[in-house]
Copies of this chain bind each other. A is one copy, B any other.
Amino acid sequence: MNLKNDRSGYECWLRYSYIDDDISRDAYLKRCSRIALIGESALIESARAELKLALTSMLGAKPLEIGISEDGPAIVAGTFDSLQGLGLGSFVEAADIAELGNEGYIVLASEDGRVYLLAETDKGVLYAVFHLIRMMQTGEDIETASVREFPRNSLRMINHWDNMDGSIERGYAGRSIFYRDSRFIEDLSRVRDYARLLASGGINAVSINNVNVHVQESKLITEEFLPDVAKVADIFRGYGIRLYLSVNFASPIEIGGLETADPLVPEVRRWWSGAAKEIYRHIPDFGGFVVKADSEFRPGPFTYGRNHADGANMLAEALEPYGGEVIWRCFVYNCLQDWRDRSTDRARAAYDHFMPLDGTFRDNVLLQIKNGPMDFQVREPVSPLLGGLTRTNQLLELQITQEYTGQQRHLCYLVPQWKEILEFDTYAQGEHSTVSEVASGRLFGRKRGGLAAVGNIGDDMNWTGHILAQANWYGYARLTWNPCLSSEQISREWIRMTFGQDMGTEGIILKMLSDSHRIYEAYTAPLGVGWMVNPGHHYGPNVDGYEYSKWGTYHYADRYGIGVDRTVRSGTGYAGQYHSPQSDLYESPERCPDELLLFFHHVSYTHVLKSGKTVIQHIYDSHFNGADQAVDLVAQWDSIKEKIDEGIYLQVRERLLHQAEHAGEWRDIVNTYFYRKSGIADDYDRLIY
């Protein structure tokens, strides 16, 4: 909150703009001019500070703090325990309270003019405060408030890929807010604001260093840096967020001086136990380890002929006495593939590696599974490992940072994509076995589960580079809390909180957000085939960019057709990794959804899609239309120019202009590539080079 009156975008959705409308403001003032928060914990302090800030700013008057015993209209916040004896029993039944758990809460307006914010824990009270504030930001009536909320996922996490030199792997919004020049940044006020923003959306876990753990970052779990890590953990703790660290599997060698990191060697196990003990001495509620092992040249148990369960369980054993968890990534594949070899299929890799280990992981291990089998493309099928595993804790991994989706220079609102993923039916236990149910753990009766995602923030003044990319951050947080929220609902909340309540503005931005993923998909790689980007940085079109590489990411386009045959019948067999009927759907070129056709099948350019178009005509049409729509985004934004703070208007406009131009580059390169290769003219004779 350093920059209260700044209009750079720093405040994101916690802008707390003054409520101009007298009627609304008066209605809120009636109940909100006095507040009573019970408790002294850091969480209650956070709640109190936030509530006072928000009310003062939105209502133009500082609320009066009163004692709990004073009568009359007020916001009264506290745990059920602390408020016992106030006669709340009449509207809070015991059964309901149990269901809320230790993060849920109630927001309840009573007839005597009070608004009660009640929870089992102080953390729930903090969430309730953010809920009440959101209601006021979005113009909801609080007179009749009767809200019961609890999170659908116990783990709601953001992963940072920050390096201690200050760089962020796949970061598109400046440098790290945690590190600079191989040390922690001393002034942690930005971290505090970050924690507020996270808590307002319900995030309860962060890992603060890159999963590719380099030399310096390996030392985060040592005495050299633990005091600094603890300071950051303190801040997050005040907002109900547990801190995790990514660790280097080879730490026993690299920082422990041992000769091996073999997970079955007692000396190694002792080393990790010792390390855990040290960590918990500094951070008693430390969340645990995030581990990328045996992946893209990172060390792991394979080095010692051990499997991933051996590796994960060893770490889990070390953390178990303290209540810590191991989050073990399943992004394991052969990244030295020969492009000539069509039998190896990177898409199969996670399933092939981890399915045989199902049931062998300790209870405090969660396998973190990327949403798709490849790597965060704009369109992929859902990973068959989700719901393939039945006896293992699963954590769905999403990517908020827009590595393959325009790098926060293109507008690409990802909530619609995430909703599709969460609602995908794995059929693991028959119908309605959605990814959402798998990830939460409910489907298989597991206590641990949830979502993790790679964050998209950096030290850019507006956090995310593209201000509209804040919506992805916000939307992700909201979905972790409640995957049932619709994309539209989340968007409307975010727009009102960020830009205020104006129906016209809201409609335009809602449309821009809602269309953006489809637009981006239209002018980039077609029909689920993916990967037509420049190697390394992954920005901009390059149809053959990965075609002759070692990365296992090919489209096999020739003069007749394109796509990867992943069927059981004639291809790599990947389609068979799904439960029926999904496996049957994907196996069939006729039934496979158009948008994934080239992911599962190699077809001719004249293959007719369900849409009635040929593949080649679809490529042309989608690229011409997508690029046109990108241009139109600028016009849409310009149409609300008067309603937007000038600084924010200009920042977004500059990015939209770049996107429009760059979408034209995508259109022309992709269309030209396929026209030259197929020789088939566009039905509408549009300009192809």
Chain A contacts to B: CB under 8 angstroms: 339-340, 541-544, 548, 557-560, 668-669, 672-673, 675-679, 689
- The reply to whether A559 and B668 form a contact with Cβ atoms under 8 Å apart is no
Residues of B within 8 A of A339 (CB): 689
Residues of B within 8 A of A543 (CB): 544
- The reply to whether A669 and B548 form a contact with Cβ atoms under 8 Å apart is yes
Contact A677/B548 with A340-B668, A340-B689, A668-B340 known, Cβ cut-off 8 Å: no
Give 16 pairs: A residue, B residue, CB < 8 Å, sorted on A.
A339-B689, A340-B668, A541-B548, A542-B548, A544-B673, A548-B672, A557-B676, A558-B676, A558-B677, A559-B559, A559-B676, A559-B677, A559-B678, A559-B679, A560-B679, A677-B677
**A487 → chain B, closest Cβ, in Å?**
34
Other than the known A340-B668, A558-B675, A558-B677, what 14 A-B pairs have Cβ atoms closer than 8 Å?
A339-B689, A340-B689, A541-B548, A542-B544, A544-B544, A548-B668, A548-B669, A548-B672, A557-B676, A558-B679, A559-B676, A559-B678, A560-B679, A677-B677
Report the nearest B residue to A688, measured CB to CB.
Answer: B340
**A668 → chain B, closest Cβ, in Å?**
6
Residues of B within 8 A of A668 (CB): 340, 548
**A679 → chain B, closest Cβ, in Å?**
5
Residues of B within 8 A of A560 (CB): 679
**A8 → chain B, closest Cβ, in Å?**
32
Docked CA distance A677–B669 (Å): 16
Residues of B within 8 A of A675 (CB): 558
Docked CA distance A373–B594 (Å): 47
Residues of B within 8 A of A541 (CB): 548
Docked CA distance A672–B556 (Å): 10
Docked CA distance A675–B557 (Å): 11
Docked CA distance A557–B542 (Å): 16
Residues of B within 8 A of A673 (CB): 544
Residues of B within 8 A of A340 (CB): 668, 689
Residues of B within 8 A of A677 (CB): 558-559, 676-677
**A337 → chain B, closest Cβ, in Å?**
13
Docked CA distance A544–B679 (Å): 17
Docked CA distance A459–B215 (Å): 29
Docked CA distance A689–B548 (Å): 10
Docked CA distance A100–B557 (Å): 65
Residues of B within 8 A of A558 (CB): 675-677, 679
Residues of B within 8 A of A678 (CB): 559
Docked CA distance A668–B677 (Å): 18
**A531 → chain B, closest Cβ, in Å?**
14
Report the nearest B residue to A342, measured CB to CB.
Answer: B689
**A502 → chain B, closest Cβ, in Å?**
41
Query: What 4 pairs between A and B have smallest CB-CB spacing?
Result: A558-B676, A559-B679, A548-B669, A340-B689
Interface centre among A339, A548, A672, A673 (most CB of B within 10 A): A548
Residues of B within 8 A of A559 (CB): 559, 676-679
Docked CA distance A676–B547 (Å): 12
**A557 → chain B, closest Cβ, in Å?**
7
Residues of B within 8 A of A672 (CB): 548
**A174 → chain B, closest Cβ, in Å?**
25
Docked CA distance A558–B544 (Å): 14
Report the nearest B residue to A676, measured CB to CB.
Answer: B558
Residues of B within 8 A of A679 (CB): 558-560
Report the nearest B residue to A536, measured CB to CB.
Answer: B536
**A555 → chain B, closest Cβ, in Å?**
11
Docked CA distance A486–B88 (Å): 104
**A537 → chain B, closest Cβ, in Å?**
11
Docked CA distance A676–B559 (Å): 6
Residues of B within 8 A of A542 (CB): 544, 548
Docked CA distance A543–B677 (Å): 14
**A658 → chain B, closest Cβ, in Å?**
16
Report the nearest B residue to A560, measured CB to CB.
Answer: B679
Docked CA distance A560–B673 (Å): 13
**A241 → chain B, closest Cβ, in Å?**
41
Docked CA distance A558–B557 (Å): 13
**A338 → chain B, closest Cβ, in Å?**
10
**A232 → chain B, closest Cβ, in Å?**
36
**A88 → chain B, closest Cβ, in Å?**
67
Residues of B within 8 A of A689 (CB): 339-340
Docked CA distance A468–B528 (Å): 48
**A376 → chain B, closest Cβ, in Å?**
24
**A106 → chain B, closest Cβ, in Å?**
58
Docked CA distance A542–B545 (Å): 8
Report the nearest B residue to A541, measured CB to CB.
Answer: B548
Interface centre among A541, A543, A689 (most CB of B within 10 A): A689
